């Protein structure tokens, strides 16, 4: 397979469409920094399906679309196409040229195309699976990927080996299988939960079903008892209703008598009430006059009482105001005295405060001076302290370094001793591994020979079985085809024979003659003596339609006999051809062009040939290709022209025609057709018998060969061989690890000795320096003590002065607070004095007003009570007249009350009778309610109509009413306390049991599926493990060869699995010792050595599984000229089998390529490509 073309448009800096054609050999892509070289590599990676924006050097996928320049608008689409020539069918497709295309729109929509047919990303991925190509394969290598391979970032080495060994698809299958296994286990868990719930529900439903059966039994007993009790209650209801009807009639008669008495006394009461109403009006008028006079007396008395109360209030107010004025005047004198005293104290304390303020200002100035001295001394002390601290830190660091060096020296000495001890012990184990490797290699060789021999025999057997199976399938296919054919022919034969035997479509006269024993049945119909070619059958039949039903007889006498039979039986008419009367035709018309004679397309027996010649000698049928030329004209001669499909018939005088039926052409030559069908059916059955014999023979042979298969033996041999290979790989790995360990131990001992020498030198240098620092530290400590003492003296004086200043400051603030307190007290007393003066003035004015009010009130208090005595005498006279009128009113009132009591008593009697009647009606209603309740209960509980019980005769009941009532109560109580039941429990139980059976079957299927998936996973692991180890061993050998070709033949290198027991998950370590170096880690190599080592690994992979093309993106940057030549030489060697595309700045690399594509930016921001073919230059 060869990469032929790359087309880019709108991708990153490629605003215009560019095309890069790739030929065999090495192609270089060059250009200055920032011109877009790496964008070519990104385009190839992107079109191969890269989804990581980090690998495309973008933050988001939209950024890869051309973003425009100062003169260009941004593109709306990024499109990249990659074309391959699939000449060696490496790609699993029938196309020779394969073009993959990827598009991304600025809207975020994306699409993939395969040969311009829309497809999925998965289709692209599957297309390149196990081909060495892909977005993350080893076919595209950037400089940063060299470091990733060296540092094994994200298991990059494993990814390369998996791609080369072709186990990626196995890992995908394993992942899918594990996913299905997880789903299966989830389903199993869900099924177990369902079974648990179903089992629990089954027990509950079984209990519920038994409980429901018991409940229904109790309910049936309750129904029988309730019906018996209902018969008793219906009889009681009938007796009670008769008794209540008699009592109702008696009470209604008593009510009528009482109503007459009530009416008579109510008339008397009405007259008394009218007389009483007049007396009541007079009484009310007299009572109103009396009440008005009494109210007048009470108003006079109230007014006099208010004046007396007002006088007492004024007297009390006078006394209160006199007391308040005396108190306020005394308090005002006290406040004035206090104000005088406070003014004197304030003047005295203010003088003391001024003295304290002068003293504190003096002390504050002295303290500030001492503080400045202290700060100066503190600065000197801190500077000297810092110097002493630095010296101490240097001493501490040096002591720590010396201690570390001693520890390192001791550790190295112990490690040297331990290393040599371990190396000595591993030598013996290495000898045992050497013997084991030799033994295992012999066993592997023997096992391999047995396996190959068995496999060859099995392959031959399988090839033979495949040949037989193909022949068997072909035989069965032919057998099915022949069986269908014989069925069709047999059906056609049966149908035709039925038509012939029953004379379907023929007149009644024909059928009569054929069945009549008095006439010979051997005379044929004209339609039976002809047999025509299939393609002309419709045309001949349509033309001969009028005479198809004619009988063909030998003589006229036979025709006369038949006509006589028809006439006697009144069975219609028939037509006959008489052979004796037919003569051979003499004149043969000329056959027109593009037509065939009707006589040439029919077959008849010799004795009927003259008849056919007479009928058809002038008839011709057009050839199919001549229909269009002759359709428009009539024949000029005395002939008849037929359309080959029977659509028309023409002669020189006219033509006839029309539609053609589906079944036309089936009547002619039926007898002959039956003979032909019988022959064909016989031949086909003979072929079927032969095919069945061949099939049986092949089945027996195939069964015999399958029994002879040795697949189980081969699988066992393969398993043993894989086990031996794995064991050999494991032992070899340990052998190499032990050998490496011994060599490493020896090298490590030399390194340790050199390190001990270096440490000893550093100790000799550090110890004298430590002594000098210690002496310097003692001197600094003495000077630091002197400075500390001076600082302490100043601090003591400052403390003493600060204490005195603080005490003076406290006294100053105390005096200041005392002055402030006196000022506030003075302000309060002044406000108090002002308030007292205002209140005294206010009370004095109010006191004068009270004196005036008291003088006015004294005028009313001095009057006598003569008017009030006269008013009381008039009141007594009015009350006496009112009393007489009241006595007369109440006498009439008593008469009315007595009569009302009599009427009330009569009404009570009536109400009692009404109550008794109501009770009787209520009892009757209650009985009816009970009857309806019984009716409804029987209907609801038992679906029984009470009318049927009433109409039916009461049966003889074995139990009494009391016994039935007790039984009903007991059964009802049992039913009420029975608890809830599930009436559908039985049906639910059966349904749940069926579901339990179904779920159990599903669980068994899931267990079988789980076992199958586990088996699949094991098979995948075994296959992937075998492929991986084969690839690893091959690449490992290739790595040694390529590495030495890039360095020197005596240089050593290796690749080791860190976990040989689990190769599919093990990391891969690279051991490289170029130019005699012995680095402890590959990371200790130089940049160029790392690049060459990674290059050696990549080309080792190419030797095992070559990629169709390889892209190196500035991989040669770390290499010097010598290594560049090695790099170019190995690329030149490998370019014979693969294409190489190199992005580079190195002139030597560029000069060694075949074709150069220069990437430039003629227009700022837009990349263009210029090709140069160096082969033409050379």
Residue entry with tokens 């049945």: 521
pLDDT digits (tens, 9 = 90+) for 789-824: 887 787 778 777 777 777 777 777 777 767 776 777
What gap in Å lies between CA 145 and CA 137, rounded to an integer? 11
Residue 37 labeled ligand binder: yes
The verdict on residue 542 lying in a domain is: yes
Instruction: Please tell me the total count of domains within the chain.
Output: 2
- Compute the average pLDDT of residues 943-971: 73
Residue 662's pLDDT band (cuts 50, 70, 90): very low
Greatest mean pLDDT among 200-214, 221-235, 682-696:
682-696
- pLDDT given at position 578: 86
Residue 866's pLDDT band (cuts 50, 70, 90): low
Beta bridge partners of 82: 6, 100
Residue entry with tokens 């009113």: 889
**508 Rama sector, left if φ>0, alpha if ψ -120 to 50, beta otherwise:** alpha
Helix H, strand E, coil C: the string for 507-543 is: CHHHHHHHHCCCCCCCCCEHHHHCEECHHHHHHHHHH
Q: What is the mean pLDDT of the chain?
A: 79
Residue 34 labeled ligand binder: yes
Cβ–Cβ under 8 Å, residues 333 and 872: no
What gap in Å lies between CA 353 and CA 811, rounded to an integer? 9
Beta bridge partners of 1172: 1156
What gap in Å lies between CA 140 and CA 126, rounded to an integer? 18
Higher pLDDT residue, 1089 or 138?
1089
Residue 32 labeled ligand binder: yes
887 φ/ψ angles, rounded to the nearest 5 degrees: -60, -45
* 3-class SS of residue 95: coil
Among 1081, 1061, 1062, 1086, residue whose Cα is nearest residue 1070: 1081
Higher pLDDT residue, 534 or 118?
118
Residue 38 labeled ligand binder: yes
Q: Is the pLDDT of residue 976 over 70?
A: yes
Cβ–Cβ under 8 Å, residues 1149 and 1142: yes
The verdict on residue 191 lying in a domain is: no
Among 695, 638, 214, residue whose Cα is nearest residue 477: 695
Residue 518 labeled ligand binder: no
Q: Which of 613, 643, 666 is the last residue in one of the domains?
A: 666
pLDDT digits (tens, 9 = 90+) for 675-686: 778 888 888 888
pLDDT digits (tens, 9 = 90+) for 870-882: 766 776 777 677 7
Beta bridge partners of 622: 595
The verdict on residue 519 lying in a domain is: yes
pLDDT digits (tens, 9 = 90+) for 106-150: 988 999 999 888 999 888 888 887 676 776 677 788 878 878 788
If you write DSSP's letter for every residue of 25-40 in order, what string do you get? SEEEEE--TTSSHHHH
**What CATH number is associated with residue 536?**
1.20.1060.20
Greatest mean pLDDT among 13-27, 655-669, 1047-1061:
13-27
The verdict on residue 646 lying in a domain is: yes
Cβ–Cβ under 8 Å, residues 97 and 83: yes
SS3 content of the chain, % helix, strand, coil (to 5): 70, 10, 20
The verdict on residue 87 lying in a domain is: yes
Here the tokens at position 751 are 């390194």
Residue 1178's pLDDT band (cuts 50, 70, 90): very low
Q: Is the pLDDT of residue 81 over 90?
A: yes
pLDDT digits (tens, 9 = 90+) for 736-790: 777 777 777 777 777 888 888 888 888 788 778 878 877 877 887 787 778 778 8
pLDDT digits (tens, 9 = 90+) for 12-71: 999 889 999 888 889 999 988 888 888 999 999 899 888 888 888 888 889 899 988 888
pLDDT digits (tens, 9 = 90+) for 565-601: 888 888 788 888 888 888 776 667 777 777 888 788 8
Residue 394's pLDDT band (cuts 50, 70, 90): confident
Domain that residue 606 falls in: 506-666
Task: Report strand pairing: 1109-1113 vs 2-9.
Answer: unpaired
If you write DSSP's letter for every residue of 881-943 in order, what string do you get? HHHHHHHHHHHHHHHHHHHHHHHHHHHHHHHHHHHHHHHHHHHHHHHHHHHHHHHHHHHHHH-
The verdict on residue 916 lying in a domain is: no
The verdict on residue 320 lying in a domain is: no
Q: Which of 628, 651, 666 is the last residue in one of the domains?
A: 666
Task: Report strand pairing: 576-578 vs 551-553.
Answer: parallel
What gap in Å lies between CA 298 and CA 304, rounded to an integer? 10
- pLDDT given at position 950: 66
**What CATH number is associated with residue 55?**
3.40.50.300
Cβ–Cβ under 8 Å, residues 553 and 577: yes
Here the tokens at position 405 are 């060096």
What gap in Å lies between CA 599 and CA 619, rounded to an integer? 8
For 140, 145, 775, 1145, the CA distances from 1113, given in Å and listed in that order, are 8, 10, 63, 10
- pLDDT given at position 101: 95
The verdict on residue 724 lying in a domain is: no
Q: Which of 666, 701, 718 is the last residue in one of the domains?
A: 666
Residue 968 labeled ligand binder: no
pLDDT digits (tens, 9 = 90+) for 629-657: 445 677 767 788 888 777 778 777 787 77
């Amino acid at each position: 397979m060869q990469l032929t073309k790359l087309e880019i448009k709108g991708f990153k800096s490629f605003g215009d469409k560019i095309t890069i054609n790739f030929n065999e050999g090495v192609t270089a892509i060059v250009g200055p920094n920032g011109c877009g070289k790496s964008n070519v590599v990104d385009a190839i990676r992107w079109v191969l399906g890269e989804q990581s924006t980090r690998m495309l050097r973008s933050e988001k996928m939209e950024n890869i679309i051309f973003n425009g320049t100062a003169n260009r608008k941004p593109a709306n689409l990024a499109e990249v196409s990659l074309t391959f020539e699939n000449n060696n069918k490496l790609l699993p497709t029938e196309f020779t040229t394969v073009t993959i295309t990827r598009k991304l729109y600025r809207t975020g929509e994306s699409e993939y195309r395969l040969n311009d047919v829309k497809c999925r990303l998965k289709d692209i991925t599957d297309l390149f699976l196990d081909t060495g190509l892909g977005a993350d394969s080893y076919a595209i290598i950037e400089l940063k990927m060299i470091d990733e391979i060296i540092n094994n970032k994200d298991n990059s080495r494993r990814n390369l080996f998996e791609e080369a060994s072709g186990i990626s698809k196995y890992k995908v299958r394993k992942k899918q299988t594990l996913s299905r296994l997880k789903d299966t286990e989830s389903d199993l868990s869900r099924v177990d939960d369902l079974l648990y719930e179903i089992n629990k529900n089954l027990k509950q439903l079984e209990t519920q079903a038994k409980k429901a059966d018991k409940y229904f039994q109790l309910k049936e007993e309750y129904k029988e008892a309730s019906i018996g009790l209902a018969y008793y209650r219906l009889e009681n209801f009938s007796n009670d209703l008769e008794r209540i009807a008699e009592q109702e009639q008696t009470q209604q008669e008593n009510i009528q008598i009482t109503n007459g008495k009530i009416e008579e006394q109510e008339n008397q009461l009405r007259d008394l009430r009218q007389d009483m109403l007049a007396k009541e009006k007079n009484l009310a008028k007299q009572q109103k006059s009396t009440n008005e006079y009494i109210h007048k007396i009470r108003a006079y008395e109230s007014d006099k009482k208010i004046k007396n109360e007002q006088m007492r209030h004024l007297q009390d107010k006078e006394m209160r105001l006199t007391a308040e004025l005396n108190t306020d005047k005394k308090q005002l004198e006290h406040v004035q005295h206090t104000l005088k005293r406070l003014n004197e104290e304030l003047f005295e304390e203010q003088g003391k405060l001024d003295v304290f303020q002068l003293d504190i200002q003096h002390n504050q100035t002295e303290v500030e001076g001492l503080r400045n001295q202290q700060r100066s001394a503190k600065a000197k002390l801190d500077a000297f302290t810092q110097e002493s601290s630095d010296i101490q830190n240097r001493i501490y660091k040096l002591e720590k370094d010396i201690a570390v060096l001693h520890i390192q020296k001791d550790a190295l000495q112990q490690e040297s001793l331990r290393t040599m001890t371990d190396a000595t012990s591993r030598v013996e184990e290495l000898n045992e591994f050497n013997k084991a490797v030799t033994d295992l290699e012999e066993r592997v060789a023997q096992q391999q020979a047995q396996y190959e021999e068995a496999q060859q025999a099995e392959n031959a057997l399988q090839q033979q079985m495949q040949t037989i199976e193909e022949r068997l399938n072909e035989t069965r296919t032919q057998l099915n085809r022949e069986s269908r054919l014989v069925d069709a022919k047999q059906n056609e034969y049966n149908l035709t024979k039925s038509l012939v035997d029953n004379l379907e479509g023929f007149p009644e006269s024909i059928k009569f003659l054929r069945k009549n024993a008095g006439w010979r049945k051997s005379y044929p119909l004209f339609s039976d003596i002809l047999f025509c070619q299939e393609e002309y059958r419709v045309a001949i039949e349509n033309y001969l339609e009028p005479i198809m039903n004619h009988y063909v007889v030998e003589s006229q006498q036979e025709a006369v006999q038949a006509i006589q039979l028809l006439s006697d039986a009144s069975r219609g008419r028939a037509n006959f051809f008489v052979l004796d009367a037919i003569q051979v035709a003499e004149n043969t018309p000329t056959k027109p062009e593009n037509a065939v004679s009707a006589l040439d397309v029919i077959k008849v027996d010799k004795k009927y040939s003259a008849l056919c010649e007479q009928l058809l000698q002038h008839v011709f049928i057009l050839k199919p290709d001549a229909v269009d030329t002759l359709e428009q004209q009539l024949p000029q001669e005395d002939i008849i022209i037929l359309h080959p499909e029977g659509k028309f018939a023409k002669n020189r005088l006219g033509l006839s025609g029309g539609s053609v039926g589906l079944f036309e052409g089936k009547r002619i030559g039926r007898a002959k057709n039956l003979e032909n069908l019988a022959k064909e059916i016989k031949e086909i059955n003979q072929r079927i018998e032969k095919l069945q014999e061949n099939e049986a023979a092949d089945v027996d042979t195939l069964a015999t060969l399958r029994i002879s298969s040795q697949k189980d033996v081969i699988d066992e041999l393969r398993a043993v061989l894989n086990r031996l290979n794995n064991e050999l790989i494991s032992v070899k790995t340990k052998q190499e690890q032990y050998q490496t360990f011994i060599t490493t131990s020896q090298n490590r001992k030399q390194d340790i000795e050199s390190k001990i020498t270096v440490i000893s030198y550093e100790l000799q240098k550090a110890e004298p320096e430590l002594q000098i620092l210690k002496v310097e530290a003692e001197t600094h400590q003495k000077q630091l003590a002197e400075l500390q003492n001076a600082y302490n003296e100043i601090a003591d004086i400052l403390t003493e002065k600060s204490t005195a200043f603080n005490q003076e400051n406290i006294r100053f603030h105390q005096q200041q607070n005392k002055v402030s307190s006196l000022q506030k007290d003075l302000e309060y007393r002044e406000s108090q004095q002002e308030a007292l003066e205002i209140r005294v003035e206010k009370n004095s004015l109010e006191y004068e007003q009270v004196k005036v009010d008291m003088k006015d009130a004294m005028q009313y208090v001095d009057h006598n009570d003569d008017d009030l005595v006269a008013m009381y005498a008039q009141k007594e006279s009015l009350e006496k007249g009112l009393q007489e009128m009241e006595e007369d009113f109440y006498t009439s009132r008593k008469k009315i009350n007595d009569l009302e009591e009599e009427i009330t008593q009569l009404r009570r009697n009536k109400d009692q009778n009404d109550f008794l009647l109501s009770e009787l009606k209520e009892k009757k209603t209650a009985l009816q309610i009970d009857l309806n309740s019984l009716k409804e209960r029987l209907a609801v509980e038992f679906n029984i109509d009470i009318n049927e019980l009433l109409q039916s005769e009461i049966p003889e009941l074995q139990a009494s009413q009391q016994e039935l009532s007790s039984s009903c109560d007991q059964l009802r109580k049992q039913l009420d306390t029975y608890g809830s039941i599930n009436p559908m429990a039985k049906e639910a139980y059966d349904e749940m049991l069926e579901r339990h059976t179904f779920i159990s079957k599903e669980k068994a299927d899931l267990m079988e599926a789980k076992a199958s998936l586990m088996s699949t996973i094991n098979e995948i692991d075994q296959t992937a493990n075998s492929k991986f180890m084969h690839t690893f061993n091959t690449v490992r050998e290739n790595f040694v060869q390529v590495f030495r070709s890039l360095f020197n033949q005596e240089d050593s290198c290796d690749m080791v699995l860190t976990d040989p027991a689990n190769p599919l998950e093990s990391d891969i370590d690279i051991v490289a010792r170029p130019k005699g170096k012995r680095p402890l880690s590959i990371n200790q190599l130089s940049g160029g050595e790392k690049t060459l080592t990674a290059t050696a690994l990549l080309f080792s992979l190419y030797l095992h599984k070559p990629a169709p093309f390889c892209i190196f993106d500035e991989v040669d940057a770390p290499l010097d000229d010598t290594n560049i030549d090695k790099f170019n030489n190995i690329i030149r060697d490998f370019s014979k089998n693969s294409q190489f595309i190199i992005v580079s700045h190195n002139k030597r690399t560029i000069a060694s390529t075949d074709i150069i594509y220069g990437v430039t930016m003629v227009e700022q921001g837009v990349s263009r490509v210029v090709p140069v073919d160096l082969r033409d230059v050379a």
